[in-house]
A and B are shown apart, each in its own frame.
Chain A
Amino acid sequence: MSATSQILDWTAGAQGIAYQCCSACKAVWYFRRNFCPHCGSAPPEEKQASGLGIVHAATQVARAPSEELRPYAPYVILLVDADEGFRLMAHGDSALKIGDRVRARFITLAGKLIPHFEKVQT
């Protein structure tokens, strides 16, 4: 991602979630690539996600994988199906369940800005 991009992305320290899509085959994906992982076309388009999605899977991590995360355990890790059609892994509120409608907010955890999903009240 270039420094001058208008797309906000948490991996670059901005409060937003970016994703990519292919103008040739319309595939949509989350991890940054230089070409489409489905058809190989380049370059992909970069887009701003709404931060809205549905919980596809959830786990509560009791045993943190590193010393820096240990103070935060237990915490919840989700797979979220974003409205735009890609899936991402992220932190979330502890009461979330599969199928919940969620929205990303941004928190600082262990010194890093990350998305954290919470339930959308309907």
Chain B
Amino acid sequence: MHEHGTSEPDLAELAVLMRRHAIMHPGAQFREAISAQDVLASKPIASPLKLLDCCPVSDGGAAFVVTRDPTSDSRVRIIGTGQAHTHQHVSAAPSLTEFGAKASVERACSAAGIALDNVRYAAIYDSFTITLTILLEEIGLAPRGQAGRRAREGYFNFDGPLPLNTHGGLLSYGHCGCGGAMAHLVETHHQMTGRAGPRQVKDASLALLHGDGGVLSSHVSLVLEAE
């Protein structure tokens, strides 16, 4: 935030975006509309994060089956994976703007033989609004300091140029531990197979998923292609 001019209202826009999407998902934990003002007015947790900048602790789960042989006409293929692990504790990270996310995504895109620009749907880990901001900007899905502005302008809306976490993400769909980010994958699969109902995006033919674990320390990326 210090280096790229991100403000607290910018962070709030990502919480508002996730809530906007969660409202359309019957299984989301939080489905009541919020404004950036609500986020800014929520109680302080660890500055600059307020309550609504943080994901909830949720009960829930997710599961999926990966098969070699097709089980239906709706098929999704993993065409690239990548990982990067640069540190464990945040004090040992290369910097507070480079955590390994970009390296991980570049490996996945390279393995898939695609450019980041080709991606039509994004599922990015969003434990806190700052996590999502850092990841979007480090990966290159938003210019530095611009993730909040892009969210405010509708760029990441389900009907925008690059739909992001259309189930509402960890921030509003909910975060039940490992199953939390698995919900990103479940939603991506729904989108890629045309089963996302009122949240259905126009084109989810090529999707990028990115998750991180630890303290922004264990980065894993997937590129999925609809067949």
Q: Which of A6-14, A40-48, A55-63, A113-121 contacts B (4 or more CB under 8 A)?
A: A55-63
Contact B44 A62 (CB under 8 A): yes
CB distance from A66 to the nearest CB of B (A): 14
Contact A79 B46 (CB under 8 A): no
Contacts of B90 in A (CB 8 A): 79, 89
- Closest chain B residue to A58 by CB distance? B47
Contacts of A60 in B (CB 8 A): 44, 46-47
Question: What are the interface flags for B40-84 relative to A under an 8 Å C-beta threshold, 1 for contact and 0 otherwise?
Answer: 000111111000000000000000000000000000000000000
Contacts of B89 in A (CB 8 A): 31, 89
Complex formed: what's the CA distance from A60 to B45 in Å?
A: 8
Contact A29 B2 (CB under 8 A): no
* Residues of A59-111 whose CB lies within 8 A of B: 59-63, 74, 77, 79, 87-89, 98
A35 lies within 8 A of chain B by Cβ: no
Complex formed: what's the CA distance from A79 to B47 in Å?
A: 14
Contacts of A31 in B (CB 8 A): 89, 92
Complex formed: what's the CA distance from A37 to B89 in Å?
A: 13
Contacts of A29 in B (CB 8 A): 92
A residues contacting the other copy or chain, number (CB 8 A) = 18
B residues contacting the other copy or chain, number (CB 8 A) = 12
A30, A56, A61, A87: the one contacting B46 at CB < 8 Å is A61
* Residues of B86-100 whose CB lies within 8 A of A: 89-92, 96
- Closest chain B residue to A78 by CB distance? B91
Contact B91 A88 (CB under 8 A): yes
Complex formed: what's the CA distance from A114 to B196 in Å?
A: 51
Contacts of A61 in B (CB 8 A): 45-46
Contacts of B92 in A (CB 8 A): 29-31, 37, 87
The answer to whether residues A62 and B91 also contact, given A56-B96, A98-B2 and a CB cut-off of 8 A, is: no
Contact A57 B96 (CB under 8 A): yes
- Closest chain B residue to A99 by CB distance? B2
Contact B96 A62 (CB under 8 A): no
* Residues of B151-209 whose CB lies within 8 A of A: none
CB distance from A83 to the nearest CB of B (A): 15
Complex formed: what's the CA distance from A119 to B92 in Å?
A: 23
Contacts of A87 in B (CB 8 A): 91-92
- Closest chain A residue to B47 by CB distance? A60
Contact A59 B46 (CB under 8 A): yes
Complex formed: what's the CA distance from A61 to B48 in Å?
A: 9
A30, A59, A89, A98: the one contacting B47 at CB < 8 Å is A59
15 sample A-B contacts, Cβ–Cβ < 8 Å, listed by A number: A31-B89, A57-B2, A59-B46, A59-B47, A60-B46, A62-B43, A62-B46, A63-B43, A63-B45, A74-B44, A77-B46, A79-B91, A87-B92, A88-B91, A89-B91
Question: Footprint of A on B, CB under 8 Å?
Answer: 2, 43-48, 89-92, 96
Q: A62-B46, A79-B96 are in contact. List 14 more A-B contacts (CB 8 A).
A: A29-B92, A30-B91, A30-B92, A31-B92, A37-B92, A59-B47, A60-B44, A60-B47, A62-B45, A62-B47, A63-B45, A79-B91, A87-B91, A89-B89
Question: Footprint of B on A, CB under 8 Å?
Answer: 29-31, 37, 56-57, 59-63, 74, 77, 79, 87-89, 98
The 4 closest A-B pairs by CB, nearest first: A62-B44, A60-B47, A61-B46, A63-B45
